[in-house]
């Protein structure tokens, strides 16, 4: 089993600000609960997750997430700084599942599937990608950033399994990758001219991406192909929030009828 760190410290100062007065994106209400609650619930129900640490606004989250296996610690800055704050609370963890708080449609089944696909977890970083047709078969109206590779068209996921001992050596490159995460071309430029040319010609494979990312970070990384679209459908703009609201309302109705 692994510990999970949920990043819930992003201020609601982007496109979603027009939809909700919540100070933090994780606290935007969807149906009967706020966004981060759905994520934490999925993690708590997952068979392969031992405990959950949430990094964000302590006062608000402590009231909402009063579960036995949930701990809350204060957000201290950007994404990499908040990851580090979370890891300080898990000093003996060998592998940590990192999850963003903006995937409210996440399920325990999709979490367990991802962890199981990571096998013996001997690698340093495992990152899920989801085929376009899988995403659009469930969430047809969602608009995601896709990358066209030789062996398929994929979008990235929003959870990672990684080795905490390699975190410090990945901080600088990690910040650069995060800054360009919505731009496939920007990421390719970061990885070099030949990589960019191959991407433009659709000659790159998932293995090529895996190997180049490992080389760039100086670690052993592995790309995991997930067939659970909820892993990659995040909520970062009004249209996404509408999709999540409709989907969760349907699920809640089905549970009520049962």
Q: List the end-to-end C-alpha distance of the chain, in Å, as a whole number.
A: 31
Dihedral angle over CA of 14, 18, 20, 24, nearest 10: 20
Mean residue pLDDT across the chain: 88
Residue 22 has pLDDT above 90, yes or no: yes
Nearest Cα residue to 221 out of 210, 232, 231: 210
Q: How far apart are CA 99 and CA 107, in angstroms?
A: 12
Task: Give residue 43's pLDDT.
Answer: 96
Residue 225 has pLDDT above 50, yes or no: yes
The parent domain of residue 124 ranges over 2-257
Task: Give residue 173's pLDDT.
Answer: 65
The predicted-structure confidence for 76-102, as pLDDT tens digits, reads as follows: 988 889 998 999 898 778 899 999 999
Q: How far apart are CA 32 and CA 37, in angstroms?
A: 10
Q: Which of 20-29, 62-71, 128-137 is predicted least confidently?
A: 62-71
Q: Name the token pair of 193.
A: 């001219």
Reported residue count of the chain is: 258
For residues 68 and 153, which has the higher predicted lDDT (pLDDT)? 153
Question: Rounded to two decimals, what is the model's pTM?
Answer: 0.88
Count Cβ atoms below 10 Å from residue 132 Cβ, excluding itself. Answer: 17
Q: Which residues contact 248 (CB under 8 A, 6 or more apart)?
A: 30, 31, 38, 104, 105
Residue 206 has pLDDT above 70, yes or no: yes
Please list, residue by residue across 184-219, b when 16 or more beta carbons sit within 10 angstroms of its beta carbon and e when fewer do.
Answer: beebbebbeeebbebbeeeebebebbbebbbebbeb
The total of structural domains in the chain comes to 1
The predicted-structure confidence for 45-65, as pLDDT tens digits, reads as follows: 999 999 999 999 999 998 899
Q: How far apart are CA 8 and CA 11, in angstroms?
A: 9
Confidence of residue 257 (pLDDT cuts 50, 70, 90): very low
Dihedral angle over CA of 66, 70, 72, 73, nearest 10: 160
The CATH number given to whatever domain includes residue 192 is 3.90.550.10
Residue 146 has pLDDT above 80, yes or no: yes
Task: Give residue 252's pLDDT.
Answer: 57
Task: Give residue 254's pLDDT.
Answer: 45
Q: How far apart are CA 208 and CA 49, in angstroms?
A: 30
* Region 6-19 average pLDDT: 93
- Sequential DSSP letters for 152-173: EEEEE-SEEEE-GGGHHHHHHH
For residues 250 and 134, which has the higher predicted lDDT (pLDDT)? 134
Q: Which residues contact 90 (CB under 8 A, 6 or more apart)?
A: 3, 5, 53, 96, 164
Q: How far apart are CA 112 and CA 122, in angstroms?
A: 17
Task: Give residue 213's pLDDT.
Answer: 83
Kind of pairing, strands 96-100 and 159-162?
antiparallel
Rg for the chain (alpha carbons), in Å? 18
């Amino acid at each position: 089993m692994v510990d999970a760190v949920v990043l819930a410290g992003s201020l609601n100062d982007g496109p979603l600000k027009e939809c909700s007065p919540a100070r933090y994106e994780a606290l935007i209400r969807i149906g009967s609960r706020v966004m981060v609650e759905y994520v934490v619930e999925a993690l708590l129900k997952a068979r392969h997750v031992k405990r959950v640490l949430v990094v964000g606004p302590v006062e608000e989250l402590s009231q909402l997430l009063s579960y036995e296996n949930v701990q809350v610690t204060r957000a201290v800055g950007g994404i990499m700084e908040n990851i580090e704050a979370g890891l300080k609370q898990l000093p003996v963890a060998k592998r940590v599942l990192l999850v963003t708080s903006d995937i409210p449609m996440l399920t325990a089944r999709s979490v367990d599937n991802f962890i199981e696909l990571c096998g013996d977890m001997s690698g340093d970083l495992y990152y899920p990608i989801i085929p376009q047709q899988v995403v659009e078969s469930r969430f047809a109206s969602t608009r995601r950033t896709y990358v066209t590779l030789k062996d398929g068209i994929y979008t990235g996921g929003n959870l990672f399994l990684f080795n905490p001992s390699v975190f410090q050596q990945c901080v600088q490159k990690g910040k650069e990758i995060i800054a360009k995460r919505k731009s496939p071309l920007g990421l390719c430029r970061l990885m070099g001219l030949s990589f960019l040319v191959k991407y433009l010609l659709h000659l790159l494979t998932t293995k090529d991406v895996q190997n180049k990312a490992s080389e760039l970070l100086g670690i052993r990384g592995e790309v995991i192909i997930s067939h659970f679209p909820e892993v990659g459908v995040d909520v970062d703009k009004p249209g996404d929030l509408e999709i999540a609201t409709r989907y969760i309302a349907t699920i809640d109705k089905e549970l009520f009828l049962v």
